Amino acid sequence: MPEILVVDDEPGIRELMREILEEEGYEVRAAENGGAARAALDAKVPDLVLLDIWMPDVDGVTLLKEWKTQGRLTMPVVMMSGHGTVHTAVEATRLGAFDYLEKPVAYKQLLATVRKAMETRSSKPITSGSLESLGQGEAIKRLTQRLGLAASAGLPVLLLTEPGAGEDAVAHFLTPPDGAFIQVDEPVILADRPADLLVRAKGGLVFIPDLSALSSMQQKGLALLIARRAEFATRVVAACQCPPAQMMAEGKLLRELHDQFAHAVVELPPLRVRREDIPILAARMLEDACVRLLIPPRRFTEPALALLGAYDWPGNLAELDALAGRLALEDGEAPVEAAAVEAILGKPAKPTGPAGIELMLHLPLKEARDAFEKAYLEALLAECDWGMSRAADRAGLDRTNLYRKVKQLGIEAPGKEK
């Protein structure tokens, strides 16, 4: 059943819309302000949002802009206002709103707009399949949203990744349905014949698995390919393990290419920051390995899964898949015990915080929580080269909230004078 999120600071309007929409067969959630709307979207992405513009904490246009910037505008949003202007309506539409309604909203107009918005959800998909092979947690859901937005906007996508994090799966996901998938394993063709790639990939996707491996001439060929991609209805996706700004500063990336990718740099979350996915992925990979090897199915015991979940997986999905294949080859049909996992991975370290802090059981809860948050954010910011936008995305926080938290906890970048 389609779900609609109604965001309005007037209780009477929220309840009236709930009554009307539920009578039409929709599920309805309500939020009384911008903060509640953020929380509702974090909990579950609805099929449609009816968003009031004038609210006490944050206006709807700002919220719409925030969702678009974060790559979360993957559902139609209909703006509502009793004090609207033509300028406001145009601005909301420019930012990605599906439509604009003036309050009080007429009954028939509301239902007609909702039906039209819902029809856009059932249109032809713009990506292939899903990213369930990477996991099903919130981090992968947010990744799917960002990639969907980039695909619908026709942007070239740069995947910032770690070894084995699943960039090939993401590239296949971004390939248009029924479109060709061309992976450039021999980049010399980019310097010699970039147009040939566009012809071969027409209506599909060109994937560059390692941007940092390209020479200057090959990068120029890729820049030309990106500039002409619309002529061939072709998407372009590249992957690299180094932030593009750093590559450019070190003279390893052309500014033209940096600028072409700048609007859709998408970080693939490594396994260590989405541990909730590890047990499901491990079980699936062990099952797949048994099928490949034509042997009876095996499973992990709960203690074994707990060990897998505590490991940091520097090789990410590739390392987890290799371990599953190795364990599937062991003698016997009994479940895989923790001892077998420990024999390969080694004994897990004593649980500590992100910066090596012990569990702090001697502290009151509030002090322990503050200490953990500070250690976590310091470690995360350091890993993101103190880039607030990347760190906020990794932490699942709004950038404003991250700034506020950093200031509150007294966190400062290394070398900054106090």
- Between 155 and 416, where is the model more confident? 155
For residue 404, the model assigns a pLDDT of: 78
* Per-range mean pLDDT, top range of 44-53, 382-391, 392-401: 44-53
Please give the average per-residue pLDDT across 388-401, as a whole number.
Answer: 78
Q: In CATH, which of 1.10.1740.10, 1.10.8.60, 3.40.718.10, 3.90.230.10 is domain 272-345? A: 1.10.8.60
Q: 32: Cβ–Cβ under 8 A, 6 or more apart, which residues?
A: 7, 8, 9, 11, 14
Question: The whole model's pTM is what?
Answer: 0.57
For residue 253, the model assigns a pLDDT of: 95
Closest CA to 328 of 339, 340, 319, 316: 340
Number of C-beta neighbours around residue 57 at 10 A:
14
Lowest mean pLDDT among 86-90, 267-271, 355-359: 355-359
- Tell which phi-psi region holds residue 397, choosing left (phi > 0), alpha (psi between -120 and 50) or beta: beta
Please give the average per-residue pLDDT across 197-208, as a whole number.
Answer: 94
Q: Which CATH superfamily is domain 351-418 in?
A: Homeodomain-like (1.10.10.60)
Please give the average per-residue pLDDT across 326-331, as a whole number.
Answer: 87
Above 60 in pLDDT, residue 159?
A: yes
Domain boundaries of the chain, sorted by first residue? 3-121, 138-269, 272-345, 351-418
CATH class of 138-269: alpha beta
For residue 81, the model assigns a pLDDT of: 86
Above 90 in pLDDT, residue 395?
A: no
